[in-house]
Amino acid sequence: MTRPAGVGDYRRFWAASTTSIFGTYVTTLALQVLAALTLHATATELGLLNAARWVPYLVLGLFVGVLVDRYRSKPMLVGADFARAVVLCAIPLLHLAGLLSLPVLIAFAALLGLLSLFFDAADQAFLPKLVPVSMLTSANARLEQSHAVAQTTGPLLAAALVKAVGAPLAILVDAISYLISGVLLAGIGTREQSAPRPQRRSVLTELREGASWVYRHRMLGPQSLAGHLWFLAHSMLTTVYVLYVLRAPDNGLGLGEVQLGISYACAGVGAVAGGALANRSGRRFGAGRTVVVTRALMPLPWLLVPLLGPNPAVIVLLGLSQLLFWVLMGLEGPNEMAYRQAVTPDRLQGRVNTTIRSLNRGAIVIGAPLGGLIADATSLRTALWAGIAGLIASAVVLAASPFRHATLPEPATPQTTS
Confidence of residue 249 (pLDDT cuts 50, 70, 90): low
Output the average pLDDT for the chain.
82
pLDDT for position 248: 60
pLDDT for position 410: 65
Query: Does the pLDDT value for residue 415 go beyond 50?
Result: no
CATH number of the domain residue 130 falls in: 1.20.1250.20
Same domain, 135 and 165: yes
Would you say residue 192 lies in a domain? no
Same domain, 236 and 269: yes
pLDDT for position 413: 47
Which of 183, 215, 231 is the last residue in one of the domains?
A: 183
Would you say residue 198 lies in a domain? no
Same domain, 178 and 228: no
Q: Specify the pTM.
A: 0.73
Same domain, 227 and 311: yes
pLDDT for position 121: 82
| Helical packing angle, 167-186 and 136-165, nearest 10° | 150
Would you say residue 195 lies in a domain? no
Domain that holds residue 320: 203-408
Nearest CA to 83 among 45, 121, 114, 56?
114
Q: What's the one-letter identity of residue 325?
A: F
Same domain, 107 and 4: yes
Same domain, 128 and 208: no
Distances (CA, A) of 290 to 275, 390, 394, 403: 12, 20, 15, 10
Same domain, 122 and 246: no
Same domain, 299 and 333: yes
Domain count, the chain: 2
Would you say residue 196 lies in a domain? no
Same domain, 226 and 335: yes
Tens digit of each residue's pLDDT (9 = 90 or more) over 69-99:
777 888 999 999 999 999 999 999 998 898 9
Helix (H) or strand (E) holding 237: helix 220-246
Distances (CA, A) of 225 to 71, 73, 233: 28, 27, 13
Would you say residue 417 lies in a domain? no
Tens digit of each residue's pLDDT (9 = 90 or more) over 14-73:
888 888 887 777 777 778 778 777 887 765 576 677 778 888 888 888 788 878 877 788
Would you say residue 188 lies in a domain? no
Tens digit of each residue's pLDDT (9 = 90 or more) over 122-167:
887 788 888 887 788 888 888 877 877 776 676 667 767 777 888 7
From CA 379, how far away is CA 4, in angstroms rounded?
52
Same domain, 305 and 169: no
Same domain, 228 and 160: no
Same domain, 310 and 209: yes
